Structure 1
Amino acid sequence: MEEEKVRKLKLMSGLLTALLVSGVAHATTITIAANNNGDMVRMQKLSSDFTAKNPDIELRWVILDEGTLRQKVTTAIATKSGIYDVINIGNYEVPIWAKQKWIEPLDNLGSDFDVDDLLPAIRASLSVDGKLYGSPFYGESAITMYRPSLFKKAGLTMPENPTWEFIKEAADKITDKNEGVYGICLRGKAGWGENMAFVTALANSWGGQWFDMKWRPQFDGQKWKEAAEFYVDLMKKDGPPGSSSNSFNENLALFQSGKCGMWMDASVAASFVSDPKQSNVANDVAYALFPTHGELKNHGNWLWAWSLAIPTGSKNTEAAQKFVNWATNRDYLSLVAGKEGWANVPPGTRSSLYANPDYQKAAPFSDLTLKAMNAADTQHPSVEPTPYTGGQFVSIPEFQGIGTAVGQQFSAALAGQETVEQALSKSQEITKREMVKAGYIK
């Protein structure tokens, strides 16, 4: 009898151990490589909602600054290392990497995802052959943010559609270095997606272009010379010290602390500068379109979408698609609204958001953001014909390296380490050499 009891106890113990081992074996950990911006940091904080709904999935977050993120993710995905299951990339990488089969099509997001609700321009920029490869968690164009009180003090009124000539006049009048107020803050930190996103948009608005129809670089042309001199002179006179090290996050902090009179950057910043929990000037901020130059009507054609994608090397694609669904569907927008208010919902992805009266009321920048995004024509980034698309970037694989190398020249010019003429000459030389090496120029 005792032997029977012992046998049963051993059997039950064995079954319990098997169940415990089975439970551990079925727990899936997905690693998410994400950009260190406000929306992704907020998503990480809210991700307990996902794990509560999916107790068999654990999340490991790797939050990196934009430049480091791009470097690490590009290396990991090109080698199919499998160290990341979800990656944070934009509409520059998505079409290129999808064609190289580096990322998976997102065809198992579920019927509740409602892909048809995505804004057409954003969906198209993240699709290849009609398949979605990146799911957007926010989309943006570029806009002008400014302090109305400083404009009033200077006797100026910001038009909805300003020109760069007006912006310079305003910056000169607003700058008061004794008070620690600078007329304008603009990106200066080197990187294809950092200072060159702004500088390319500026050059586009000036009528410039990276390449002519024969893929010859155009930095030796008059339009680039005028745009570059304008940028450097403006920042040296009216920008904050150390501008050559500032990108989105640094300028955001400067604007929120009241040190910038104007800031031209991603429209997603509007919710952060108008949030009284984060911004000292939340009640003193207004918005206008990205500036144009002279009689040209080109607003820089900035269109960007930070998205979530799944590398082909991932061993956890099913769990990863569940996370992507949670992070980018309409329910997530409602989750953010409930926790942080409608003004802080990630913008620029879904038509239903811009039709939502609660969002329209809470986000005074929503109409202008939508107008800026709809005005972006990434198929025709310059007023001149171009062999490329992309707006504030050039949609070729080589641009990541070339853009960063050129960005270093513009950053050096801003820091006073070389002249504008030297920066443009070196940019022309660097770009031509790489385009010949890649076979674009025969």
Structure 2
Amino acid sequence: MDFDYSPKTKELQQRLLRFMDEFIYPAESAYHAEIAANSAAGKRWTPLQTIESLKPKAQAAGLWNLFLPVDSAEAAGFHGAGLTNQEYAPLAEIMGRVMWSSEVFNCSAPDTGNMETIARYGSEESKQRWLKPLMDGKIRSAFAMTEPAVASSDATNIETRIERQGDEYVINGRKWWISGAGDPRCSIYITMGKTDPDAPRHSQQSMVLVPADTPGIKILRPLNVFGYDDAPHGHMEMVFDNVRVPVGNILLGEGRGFEIAQGRLGPGRIHHCMRLIGLAERSLELMCKRASSRIAFGKPVAAQTVTQERIAEARCKIDMARLLTLKAAWMMDMGGNKFAKNEIAMIKVVAPNMACEVIDWAMQAHGGGGMCDDFPLAYAYTCARTLRFADGPDEVHRNAIAKLELGKYAVNPKPVEMPITRGC
């Protein structure tokens, strides 16, 4: 592996850093002010103009749809940035420094994973109807998999039924933590459910495209995360009650849901982890600045040994997580998701835990300020902590890693599947 970034990535990094300095960081206060104003006016679930006004600037700067891998772009017939996973990863890190900024560049979840899914597995009609407006930033989407009644960390538990009746599929089930479903622009759900409960375990599930305006879809409530509801994005609990869609809306075919999920979740985990690394980097930066400017017991907080130890540990942990994530991205580019399954599982454990720890140390250095919205740390912590669940809880990934490691020494090793869990 070459540890240096490609010339294309370096050039995009510089452009992206300039954009962050010129537009994103100065807009942070306006972003929070708009959320507060919308809340006071009872308009929480409306698109934020702070973000919308920056999107044309990102497009004009050539910083749009950077995420779509080469093979997905070619499959869709689109010509985006043409970056590999390894080339895109450091750009995701820069965007991750401000949690909402990836939407400005049309590089935010769950749209990124959904666009890749439709690009790889959708029909030409689906690409024109859904992928094109998603890539143009005109609509948004959601991924409907997780359910409240079962342990969705094991996706074979999913109970939502997708039953064929003539030329239609009829969908019945209850979902929750459906990220993006609160956005009024959410126009399409990629929905996972069982088409054949009697099939082999990993052939029971299918994925189908469900337009958001289809009769029978009911949003029950937004779920808050440590007190935040993430409006207008939202994480919704919802019901599919005899929802009917044409059979042509199925992706790839019946029983291929796990196969699709394997292709969807690998890149998504790279994106999440690199954004978390960017978030941890900014938290370390804020910690150093705060600790250097605050005086406690007659000397700067930065002079306290415990603070120095945490700063040093944070530097080490961030760099280790970055290198492991870049290795996973490189391996995916070299051999695909299965080739990199162990590294993908490892980064999904390492990066969120690292980010939680670094952000927590930064909060401590800020004292009471670390717990309120005067600084971005409290909300950053909730996002990092959430990602120890999203795209698979720590325990699932640790089990996969352990099985792969034990398999090296087994007499008759069995293949280990990459865990398939909810995508945020």
TM-score by length of 1: 0.28
Greater RCO structure (CA 8 Å; 6+ sep): 1
Q: Which has the larger radius of gyration?
A: 1
